[in-house]
Amino acid sequence: MTHPHRHLDAKPIDFWLARGAILIIVGLQLGLVNDLTVGPRWLAPSIELALLIPLSIATAWTQKTAQKASAESQWHLLGRERRMVRRLAIALTFVSTLMNFGALAQLIQAILSGHAGTGRTLLLDAVNIWATNVVIFALWFWTVDRSGPAARGLLPEEEADFLFAQYQKPIDPTQIERWIPGFVDYLFLAFTNATAFSPADTFPLTVRAKLLMMTESSISFITIAVVASRAVGILN
């Protein structure tokens, strides 16, 4: 007998959007004007693409297998595959986070030492680092919430990490249960958190969600307050 929670909730378009987000991060890393990369300029993009390829294949395989699974042994195998996909996704996002924070640290060091280049290049790199930060944390939010997209519908739902506005509407409860946040919802959450430095219409419920939002806001604040303001000062 198939358990009622075992069905596919994650939409394929969200996985494609997440893959596109990684490619955007790679493009932004290659587009840094100053030499701010950790290691050679090709190192971070190469690691990210090397993780993205097996992650995409494993995700597609898991989703395809889930459509045909019926026996308990098949669901057990899917659970193990799901954990592998989740670890790969976390590793990929962690590498991107580390590289972007390293670029910000190097840029601040260059500013303090007086070797940060012109105001224009500083501003361009600040915008680059800020935009990369938003995309990275959209991936973080998408990856950790409700045990991750690869597990939604395959395993019992874990406690939600974020309270979306759709869950707060006084509407039919069955409609609330059917609504599943997509990648764009997490991108919006990351964008508003990076601009307002606080939740907009979505609130963190767990410790890990709060820590992630605090980290994103801190990186965003440092980028705007230190780097961008210094660039505007030079231009003026």
According to the model, what pLDDT value does residue 47 have? 87
The pLDDT tens digits of the residues spanning 140-152 come to: 999 888 877 766 5
The overall average pLDDT reported for the chain is 78
According to the model, what pLDDT value does residue 117 have? 65
**Which range among 83-87, 126-130, 137-141 shows the weakest confidence by mean pLDDT?**
83-87
More reliable by pLDDT, 62 or 153: 62
Whether residue 187 has pLDDT greater than 90: yes
According to the model, what pLDDT value does residue 2 have? 41
What is the percentage of the chain residues whose pLDDT exceeds 70? 72
What is the percentage of the chain residues whose pLDDT exceeds 90? 23
130 closest CA partner among 18, 27, 217? 217
The pLDDT tens digits of the residues spanning 11-49 come to: 778 888 888 999 999 999 888 877 777 778 888 888 888
The pLDDT tens digits of the residues spanning 200-222 come to: 788 898 999 999 999 999 999 98
pTM over 0.85: no
